[in-house]
Every structure is written in structure tokens, then in C-alpha cells.
Amino acid sequence: MDRSMALARTRRAIPPWAQRVGAKLLPPPPPPLRQGVHPDPADPATPPLDPQSWPKVQQEAFASAEMEQFRACLRLPGIPEVRAAVLDDLSSYSGLPPEECVERSRNWESWSVEEWLAADRSGPDRLTSFYRTTESWAFDLLWYAYLQTEGYGYPTSVMALRAIAAKGNGRTHLDFGSGAGVTSQLFARAGYETTLADISTSLLDFARHRIIRRGEAAQFIDLNDEKLDTGRYDVITALDTLAHVPDLADVMAGLHAALRPGGRLVTNFDVRPPSPENAWHLYDDDLDLRATVHRAGFMPSARFGKYVVYRRVDPTEAAQRLRVLSDQLVLTSRPRRVIRRQSRRLAAALRQQAG
């Protein structure tokens, strides 16, 4: 039986009342097999936004002082327009004309697939080679930062800072998987001593290029050669990062050691179904990832969208040991996995019927 016939049979088996309830109670659908072309807010053909349809927390972040600081992180001396400054960063670093930078930024995904397929990626070392040398991700990440300032991207860095500010943590920050450096810039403007850490030397070089151009201060850690300092940081952000990490348990142990007692970790699990466009997303389910984070000694304390603020705790504490035991009985249990699979099938059937 092919997939379309299976979905049709599933739809027929779902009573109307269950369809109505399921449409309200099911979690948001998983990410698509591909993200597609980035929009260009300067293109008249780009559909307009409806901010009133956003969740309240997203509306507040977009209108916040932190968002204006985020825009300031992207501007350059003498180039006050965010889009022009972003293109100047990309053009000056790559040697490509701004018009070509627009096209490469918008079509970064197909370019990234080409980079992935250019070599065998079957082993950890070959995966690391991709991360270290990718050029497309600089265009993707910086353009997406620009999209956040225009409302076409989820304001992740701004919301992370706002969530941490509400916790009143100290003033040392590590951005793990720092990408183009914009999150570190934002935390620095909020008064944090910030450090950028990444396994991608190409992204570290690009972030250094951007930060030097703005006369800003930051520290850099190349994770290929350097280790994180023990007990140094009050806050660690790892935004859209953990799904790219093959040895998650070891990495979480390192992040736990790098945080001071009571410190905060802000992260998410950008899991995606297998496809050529998602090859560097190493997981298609977040259940085991969440359990791994808990075992390392992190307790959830707040949430915004799909992002979680974790508090560093002693993994031997009774409450944390109870949470790990609960994970085995509930989060990663066989019944939970069966329910997850069934809910995804139901969601797919409902979406196909709605479409």
C-alpha cells in the first residue's frame, strides 16, 4: 500500500469529532522536508505580514527595545539600513557583488545540498569537515537575522535575551554554535562578556570579520582545537544547534561543566524528517534528546515557542534523579513512542484533508 492510500484509509477511520478535537490538541506539524527559498522583504512580490496573527510573546519581542538593539548589531558605520549592511558584510567577505549575495542568501538551501553532496559524509570526521568548510550557512544565517528584523523570521535571539533577563542571571555568556555571531553581539550590547564557540571555522571567520568591522569586542573558541572553560559562564545559548551534534551526551556534559551552579542554558531541538535538504539535521525526534539534556543535569525552567530555558542543577539531586526516572517511564518509553508515531500519522491525515 502506498503512502497516499494509507493516509486516505487513516482519514476515513477518524470520526469527525476526533478530527475536530485532534485539530485543536495535536502539536504543530513537524518541519517540512525542505525549507525552500528565503523571502526578500524588499521584493514587492513578497506577501505582507499579519503581526496580529502572531503569539503575544512574539509581538512583544518584535516591538521591544531588544529588537532595536538587534537591528543595531546588523547595521554598519555609515550604513544605517539593515539590509544594505547585511549585504555589505556578505559581499566584503565573499568578494561577490551584492546582487549575487541576495540570490545566494535566498537560495542557500540548494547550495548547501550541493556542498553536502560534494563529499562522503558517512562518518563523524566527514560531518565535521562539512561544518568546518560550509560557505552557504553564512549567507543563510545572516539573511535570516535580517528577516527577523523585518518580522519574516522568528526573533530567536531577542526572545532568548528577554527570557534570560527575566531570570536575573550574571554577566558571562557563551554562544555555543555561534554562527554569524549576531546572538553574541546582542548579549554584548546588553552588558554581557560574550564568547563565540563553533566547530565551523568558516562561520567563526565570518563572525570575526563582522565583529571587527563594527569595532566590537568578543572572544572566540574553535571547538576543533579548544575546550570550554569549567565553571565560567552564567548563560549559554545553543540556538538551533543541538540537532547537528552527533555526540550529544558528551557535549551536554561539557556545557554543564562550563556553566556556573544555577546558570541557564537556552536551547531547542530542531529535529527534521530525513531528506537531502535536512541531511545535517541528525535527528527526527526530540524525545531522546530531551532525556539526554535532563541526564546531564538540566531542569526546564521556562519556555518560549519551541525553545526552552534550562537551569543547571546537580544531576545527583533527588528531584533531578526523579525526573530522569520519569523520562524512562514516560518520555522515552515504548508507549510514548507509539503515541508519537500515531499522532504524527493523524496530523498528516488531518493536514491532507484540510489541504
**pLDDT values of the chain reduced to their tens digit, one per residue, 355 residues:** 444 444 444 444 445 544 444 444 455 555 667 789 999 999 999 999 999 999 999 999 999 999 999 999 999 999 999 999 999 999 999 999 999 999 999 999 999 999 999 999 988 899 999 999 999 999 999 999 999 999 999 999 999 999 998 777 789 999 999 999 999 999 999 999 999 999 999 999 999 999 999 999 899 999 999 999 999 999 999 999 999 999 999 999 999 999 999 999 999 999 999 999 999 999 999 999 999 999 999 999 999 999 999 999 999 999 999 999 999 999 999 988 888 888 877 777 776 676 5
Residue 113 near residue 276 (C-beta atoms within 8 A): yes
Domain boundaries, the chain: 54-315, 320-355
Q: Which residue shows C-alpha cell 487513516?
A: 10
CATH class held by domain 54-315 = alpha beta
How distant, in Å, are the alpha carbons of 2, 33, 240, 276, 290 from that of 177? 40, 23, 8, 22, 18
pTM: 0.89
How distant, in Å, are the alpha carbons of 25, 118, 282, 288 from that of 122? 38, 12, 12, 22
Residue 249 near residue 293 (C-beta atoms within 8 A): no
Query: Taking the CB of residue 194, how many other CB atoms lie within 10 A of it?
Result: 28
Closest by Cα among 217, 224, 216, 232 to 198: 224
Interacting residues of 30 by C-beta distance below 8 A, sequence separation 6+: 271, 272, 273, 344
CA gap 267, 304 in Å, rounded:
10
CA gap 76, 201 in Å, rounded:
23
Residue 163 near residue 302 (C-beta atoms within 8 A): yes
